[in-house]
Copies of this chain bind each other. A is one copy, B any other.
């Protein structure tokens, strides 16, 4: 297989014009990025100061002061620049660009003469560089800064930030690596690995690829240097902060289970997938297949949420997926999207895109409020506010989205995801264009050397109809590969009005091959009925329950629509649910309504235990998309899984 057989399409060649996503991308550009800029500059009244920009000023020696914030505070600035840069592709904004330029200049002044750039170790821990790989996040911050530099370079063509980061990467390359005299180390929190591969892809400099490969190859060799660090095990030194926490328990090619801190794991697997592609390394892709299966078939919430435990923000054991105590960090779900995208570039398969879509529309999107101003770090699938607020084992659960976080990793991560969403929609070979997601958009690409503009128009995720139009100067032979989602039981494709009777399906993609000409229209119809979804019989927390899904969306019941004690609701064995678009609800949403049986609590009385079943009454229930929960009435009950007769 040619390693370059599948490649992505640059953001410069993609424009979204989608009813669902474009308003969110615009919100990111118009509201979130300016808000986060104010946050980074400590200009938000009442919010805990971020100090992130101030840290750079202190590191540059321009003001006096102490470092404040998390050890990885620099990465907030990096992710903000990355998100802002993506948004510049669509929303030209010279003022924003000028702000970024000022930050980049500040970073240049904060950079050491050797290229080193990290405000925490410069200001708070001078002389302690490269001493805390377990929790110092030193290379992690470097990775995010590199990604920011690449994004800014790609959207503006300005090289300054890229030059700063190449200089830092060169310095890292000079002190860490396989060679004698260099440190044999890697970062406790992965990120640098995938950033270096992108830096290689952007600059063509092989040493960045080599350094990334070094980090990946070195990881998990035993005995592990991390264990010798005083910080190893965090302050609590429990089994949950062991080598698995860092995915360092064994060499990565021999890992078969998704272990440890779930964001770290996703960033590692994403880098492994990118490296497997660059190096055509089947030992990596074989390991990734196992890790993918374990992640998505034994350790993933139906929302695409990852991490079943708050303590260690981590994976636990197979099929252990409690809904009320889920961690399901927004960043982990975003990491799963990164990974899925890179798996698709190794080899398209609807399994990856199905998970990417599930994660995007549910566990990631739930991380941000409809108005773009509030964020969930943790995304449980069941919330009973009184329990979540009281119980010790719910300490990590927030029942309302928060404005900004002391540890602010999720908000800028969502911002950069949505601002760069275009890159997840398509990929291609020289002759085939793959459509992974159904999002109204226009792209430019080459099909066998011929320039093609392809327009996709859809009301997804509310409707399963997709119209595709091709614009090209001359006719050209090629394949339009359209993903048939795993949730879809019946689909139809027509070209210029003629239904294709026998679809050629390859790994879940309908491969429509012909000589395409200007103006050709493809119509795809994906049946999108309401489905009841069951979990594997070993997922004990949902035995006897179903989730309601429709298309890519997982639904939930909220107290706002259904009153409290949602656990008292049962869907009857024959259940007629109806989907209906509500224009006025949070910008337009398909809600699902129908009859259900419900405990008649008041009939019960005061006994705690008795021999007679609680009587039930028929009620009408309303389900809304999971991502929407907590937007109308923060602090109410919510549940995804519902008992079913």
Residues of A that sit less than 8 Å from B by CB = 238, 240, 293, 296-298, 300, 302, 308-312, 316-317, 320, 325, 384, 386-387, 390-393, 531-540, 543-544, 547, 565, 567-568, 570, 599-601, 604, 606-614, 643, 645
Q: Tell me whether A608 and B540 are in contact (CB under 8 A).
A: no
Q: How far is the CA of A609 from the CA of B300 in the complex (A)?
A: 10
Contacts of A533 in B (CB 8 A): 609-611
B317 contacts A536, C-beta separation under 8 Å: no
A392 touches B311 (CB 8 A): yes
Check B312–A538 contact: CB distance below 8 A. no
The answer for the CA separation of A46 and B126 in the assembled complex, in Å, is 49
Tell me, rounded to whole Å, the shortest Cβ–Cβ distance linking A260 to chain B: 13
Question: A567 contacts which chain B residues (CB < 8 A)?
Answer: 540, 543
Cβ-defined contact, B316 with A393, below 8 A = no
Are A539 and B599 in contact, CB atoms less than 8 angstroms apart? no
Name the B residues within 8 Å of A310 (CB-CB): 392
Total copies of the chain:
2
Interface contact B611-A531, CB-CB below 8 Å: yes
Is B531 within 8 A of A543, CB to CB? no
Q: A537-B600, A540-B565 are in contact. List 11 more A-B contacts (CB 8 A).
A: A238-B392, A297-B606, A297-B607, A317-B386, A317-B387, A534-B609, A536-B609, A537-B565, A537-B599, A537-B601, A544-B570
18 A–B contacts, CB within 8 A, in A order: A293-B606, A297-B608, A302-B609, A309-B391, A317-B390, A325-B393, A532-B611, A534-B611, A536-B607, A537-B600, A537-B601, A537-B614, A538-B565, A538-B568, A540-B567, A543-B568, A543-B599, A543-B643
Shortest CB distance A421–B (Å): 24
Q: Which B-chain residue is minimally distant from A546 (CB atoms)?
A: B613
Contact B535 A320 (CB under 8 A): no
Measured between beta carbons, the chain B residues less than 8 angstroms from A543 are: 567-568, 599, 643
What B residues does A537 contact at CB under 8 A?
565, 568, 599-601, 604, 614
Chain B proximity of A550: nearest CB distance (Å): 12
Interchain CB contact under 8 A, B384 and A540: yes
Q: Which residues of B contact A613 (CB under 8 A)?
A: 534
Q: Which of these, B532, B536, B600, B609, contacts A535 with CB under 8 Å?
A: B609
Residues of B within 8 A of A293 (CB): 606
Interfacial chain B residues near A311, Cβ < 8 Å: 392-393
- A608 touches which of B316, B391, B539, B608 (Cβ 8 Å): B539
Chain B residue at smallest Cβ distance from A565: B538
Pick the contact of A544 from B238, B606, B609, B643 — CB < 8 Å? B643
B309 touches A392 (CB 8 A): yes
| Contact A393–B309 (Cβ < 8 Å) | yes
Min CB distance A314 to B, Å, is: 9
- Which 4 A-B residue pairs are closest in the complex by CB-CB distance? A393-B393, A537-B599, A311-B392, A540-B567
> How many Å lie between the Cα of A568 and that of B540 in the bound state?
7
Chain B residues within an 8 Å CB radius of A536:
604, 607-609, 614
A531 contacts across to B, CB distance below 8 A: 611
Chain B residues near A609 (CB-CB < 8 A):
302, 533-536, 547
Instruction: Closest B residue to A535 by CB, please name it.
Output: B609
Contact of A312 with B392 at beta-carbon distance under 8 Å, contacts A534-B610, A534-B611 already known: yes
B599 pairs with A296, CB closer than 8 A: no
> Is A612 touching B565 in the complex (CB atoms < 8 A)?
no
Question: A339 CB to closest chain B CB, in angstroms?
Answer: 16
